[in-house]
Amino acid sequence: MISYIKRHFKGEFSIAQSFWINFICVNFSFNFLATFIALSFKEDKEIFSYFILNLQLLTCPISYWQSFGIYQSYLKHKAQMKIPFWGLLASILSFLSFFGSIYGVLILLFGVEPTSLLK
Protein backbone atom coordinates (compact mmCIF):
# COMPACT_ATOMS: atom_id res chain seq x y z
CA MET A 1 0.00 0.00 0.00
CA ILE A 2 2.82 2.40 0.87
CA SER A 3 4.54 1.71 -2.45
CA TYR A 4 1.26 2.42 -4.27
CA ILE A 5 0.95 5.75 -2.45
CA LYS A 6 4.54 6.63 -3.34
CA ARG A 7 4.12 5.59 -6.97
CA HIS A 8 1.07 7.83 -7.35
CA PHE A 9 2.85 10.71 -5.62
CA LYS A 10 5.77 10.38 -8.06
CA GLY A 11 3.41 10.37 -11.05
CA GLU A 12 4.24 6.83 -12.16
CA PHE A 13 0.63 5.98 -13.04
CA SER A 14 -1.16 7.12 -16.16
CA ILE A 15 -3.22 10.27 -15.91
CA ALA A 16 -6.38 8.17 -16.35
CA GLN A 17 -5.54 5.87 -13.44
CA SER A 18 -4.40 8.79 -11.29
CA PHE A 19 -7.60 10.72 -11.94
CA TRP A 20 -10.31 8.05 -12.10
CA ILE A 21 -9.04 5.67 -9.43
CA ASN A 22 -6.91 7.77 -7.12
CA PHE A 23 -9.10 10.86 -7.27
CA ILE A 24 -12.68 10.01 -8.22
CA CYS A 25 -12.96 6.53 -6.64
CA VAL A 26 -11.05 7.46 -3.48
CA ASN A 27 -13.14 10.63 -3.01
CA PHE A 28 -16.41 8.78 -3.62
CA SER A 29 -15.51 5.99 -1.19
CA PHE A 30 -14.17 8.37 1.44
CA ASN A 31 -17.21 10.66 1.24
CA PHE A 32 -19.66 7.75 1.30
CA LEU A 33 -18.05 6.31 4.42
CA ALA A 34 -17.75 9.72 6.10
CA THR A 35 -21.41 10.52 5.45
CA PHE A 36 -22.49 7.18 6.85
CA ILE A 37 -20.43 7.73 10.02
CA ALA A 38 -21.48 11.37 10.39
CA LEU A 39 -25.15 10.46 10.23
CA SER A 40 -24.67 8.07 13.12
CA PHE A 41 -23.43 11.02 15.25
CA LYS A 42 -26.09 13.54 14.29
CA GLU A 43 -27.88 13.23 17.66
CA ASP A 44 -24.75 14.18 19.62
CA LYS A 45 -23.82 17.60 18.29
CA GLU A 46 -20.48 17.81 20.10
CA ILE A 47 -19.21 14.51 18.68
CA PHE A 48 -20.61 15.50 15.27
CA SER A 49 -18.65 18.79 15.41
CA TYR A 50 -15.40 17.05 16.28
CA PHE A 51 -15.97 14.43 13.61
CA ILE A 52 -16.56 17.02 10.88
CA LEU A 53 -13.48 19.03 11.89
CA ASN A 54 -11.26 15.94 12.00
CA LEU A 55 -12.69 14.76 8.71
CA GLN A 56 -11.76 18.06 7.07
CA LEU A 57 -8.27 17.88 8.60
CA LEU A 58 -7.84 14.35 7.22
CA THR A 59 -9.06 15.44 3.80
CA CYS A 60 -6.22 17.98 3.34
CA PRO A 61 -3.30 15.52 3.12
CA ILE A 62 -5.38 13.12 1.00
CA SER A 63 -6.25 15.94 -1.42
CA TYR A 64 -2.62 17.05 -1.53
CA TRP A 65 -1.51 13.48 -2.34
CA GLN A 66 -4.14 13.25 -5.08
CA SER A 67 -3.40 16.67 -6.60
CA PHE A 68 0.35 16.38 -6.56
CA GLY A 69 0.26 12.84 -7.99
CA ILE A 70 -2.09 13.82 -10.81
CA TYR A 71 0.06 16.84 -11.65
CA GLN A 72 3.25 14.74 -11.60
CA SER A 73 1.56 12.19 -13.86
CA TYR A 74 0.53 14.98 -16.21
CA LEU A 75 4.10 16.29 -16.39
CA LYS A 76 5.58 12.83 -17.02
CA HIS A 77 3.04 11.68 -19.59
CA LYS A 78 1.95 14.83 -21.45
CA ALA A 79 4.32 14.14 -24.33
CA GLN A 80 2.61 10.80 -24.99
CA MET A 81 -0.94 12.14 -24.62
CA LYS A 82 -2.99 12.66 -27.76
CA ILE A 83 -4.86 15.52 -26.11
CA PRO A 84 -2.76 17.02 -23.26
CA PHE A 85 -5.68 19.30 -22.35
CA TRP A 86 -7.38 16.44 -20.43
CA GLY A 87 -4.34 15.93 -18.23
CA LEU A 88 -4.17 19.63 -17.51
CA LEU A 89 -7.90 19.70 -16.74
CA ALA A 90 -7.53 16.74 -14.36
CA SER A 91 -4.68 18.57 -12.61
CA ILE A 92 -6.71 21.75 -12.27
CA LEU A 93 -9.75 19.88 -10.91
CA SER A 94 -7.66 18.03 -8.35
CA PHE A 95 -5.96 21.25 -7.18
CA LEU A 96 -9.37 22.93 -6.85
CA SER A 97 -10.41 20.03 -4.64
CA PHE A 98 -7.26 20.47 -2.54
CA PHE A 99 -7.86 24.20 -2.10
CA GLY A 100 -11.50 23.44 -1.27
CA SER A 101 -10.43 21.12 1.54
CA ILE A 102 -8.14 23.81 2.95
CA TYR A 103 -10.98 26.32 2.68
CA GLY A 104 -13.27 23.88 4.51
CA VAL A 105 -10.82 23.60 7.41
CA LEU A 106 -10.46 27.38 7.61
CA ILE A 107 -14.23 27.85 7.66
CA LEU A 108 -14.65 25.29 10.41
CA LEU A 109 -11.77 26.70 12.47
CA PHE A 110 -12.64 30.37 12.11
CA GLY A 111 -16.13 30.85 10.86
CA VAL A 112 -18.80 28.20 10.84
CA GLU A 113 -20.13 26.03 13.63
CA PRO A 114 -20.30 22.45 12.26
CA THR A 115 -23.65 21.85 13.93
CA SER A 116 -25.14 24.57 11.72
CA LEU A 117 -24.68 22.09 8.87
CA LEU A 118 -27.40 19.93 10.44
CA LYS A 119 -30.10 22.57 10.08
Structure confidence at residue 7 (pLDDT): 93
Q: How many CB atoms lie within 10 A of CB 29?
A: 10
Note the pLDDT of residue 46.
83
Helices marked H in the chain: 2-9, 15-16, 26-40, 45-77, 84-110
Report pLDDT for 44. Answer: 84
Looking at residue 118, the DSSP 8-state letter turns out to be G
Q: What is the mean pLDDT of residues 39-54?
A: 82
How far is residue 33's CA from residue 4's CA, in Å, rounded to a whole number? 22
Between 72 and 46, the higher pLDDT residue? 72
Contacts of 49 (CB under 8 A, 6+ apart): 113, 114, 115
